[in-house]
Amino acid sequence: MPVTIHDLREWRARDERFAMVTAYDAGTARILDDAGIPVLLVGDSLAQVVLGYPTTLPVTLDEMLHHARAVARGAKNALLVGDLPFGTYHASESDAITNAVAFLQAGMHSVKLEGHRPALVSALTRQGIPVMGHLGLTPQHVHAFGGYRVQGRGDQAETVLRAAVDLQEAGAFAVVLECVPAALGARITEALDVPTIGIGAGPGTSAQVLVLHDLLGLTAGPAPRFVKRYADMGADIATAVQAFAKEVAEGAYPAAGHVYD
Ligand code: KIV
């Protein structure tokens, strides 16, 4: 059965935790969907983990839509969330609506946008476009924050809490909380009726999200503290291609079973 935003509301009401994972192509979307992951995010992390940009800022709407279409072709049941990239909802409400419509036409069921923008969330929801909010360390604000730093410490906690309540009141169906102290993640979750989806926000949120490449061990270099690697696929890929190259060099591949008479 396809997952809808109403299922998320029910899970929240029943305190049933769930997972969201990022997806960027049809093949992995199919695997994640078949594995029962209920929510897939075509995140603008695409910029870094797939396209090799240093931040999420350079990825364009067209690049995001190209990958959103692929994910929509691969997934059958998951609720699909398209991440509005930097610059596509900043200039005007009408830009934001046009760009969010493009995501829904690409097969997404909802969009996500970063920051405290209740007026925009309510403008989009009035058009029938479900919106997921995103607060805390919102990576599109990396230069304003002066780096990837934990947000919501000390006096900032009240500001993040109020922003989350504003987004819920504006109609957001869920709110991502990124890199905030665990106590704040739990406090915001208590204060909201809609699910909170944490990434570096501690165990007290209603759901958790990870970037697929981080959880599979496909990203290079040191990972943020909140990342747990559930596989070491980077190493597995290297081992597999080295084995292939070695067998080619030795003449062991292709063997008799791999050839046509
Ligand atoms: O782009 C992304 O992958 C995200 C998640 C980290 C929430 O926004």
Report the separation in Å between the CA atom of 43 and the middle of ligand 1, taken as the mean of its atom positions.
5
User: Confidence class of residue 102 from pLDDT cuts 50, 70 and 90?
Assistant: very high
Task: Please give the model's pTM, rounded to 2 decimal places.
Answer: 0.97
What residue's CA is closest to ligand 1, atom 8? 43
Predicted confidence band at 123 (pLDDT cuts at 50, 70, 90)? very high
What pLDDT digit, counting tens, does each position of 210-222 carry?
999 999 999 998 8
Tokens of 205: 């949120």
Is 45 close to ligand 1, i.e. is its CB under 6 Å away? yes
Ligand 1 centroid to residue 24 C-alpha, Å: 12
Give, as one character, the DSSP assignment of residue 155.
Answer: T
Question: Are 132 and 172 a contacting pair, CB within 8 Å?
Answer: yes
What's the rounded mean pLDDT across residues 231-236?
98
Residue 245 CB coordination number (10 Å): 11
- Confidence at 61, pLDDT banded by 50, 70, 90: very high
Q: Which of 114, 178, 190, 250 is catalytic?
A: 178
pLDDT digits (tens, 9 = 90+) for 10-49: 999 999 999 999 999 999 999 999 999 999 999 999 999 9
**Structure confidence at residue 227 as a pLDDT band (50, 70, 90):** very high
- Cβ(42)–Cβ(82) below 8 Å: yes
User: How does pLDDT run across 129-160, given as a tens digit for each residue?
Assistant: 999 999 999 999 999 999 999 999 999 999 99
Please report, rounded to a whole number, the percentage of residues in the chain having pLDDT higher than 90: 99
Angle between helices 156-170 and 182-191 (to 10 degrees): 30
- The residue contributing the CA closest to ligand 1 atom 2 is 43
Residue 54: pLDDT band with limits 50, 70, 90: very high
What is the residue-averaged pLDDT of the chain? 98
Q: Is 40 exposed, middle or buried (0-12, 13-18, 19+ CB in 10 A)?
A: buried
Tell me if 47 sits within 8 A of 88, measured CB to CB: no
What is the 138 CA–ligand 1 centroid distance (Å)?
A: 9
Q: What is the DSSP letter of 21?
A: E
Tell me, what's the pLDDT at 167? 98
Pocket test for ligand 1, best of 83, 135, 151, 180 (most atoms within 8 A of CB): 83
Protein residue with its CA nearest to atom 1 in ligand 1: 43
Question: Is 178 one of the annotated active-site residues of the chain?
Answer: yes
- pLDDT (tens digit, 9 = 90+) per residue, 176-196? 999 999 999 999 999 999 999
Find, among 138, 92, 99, the residue nearest to 119 by Cα.
Answer: 92
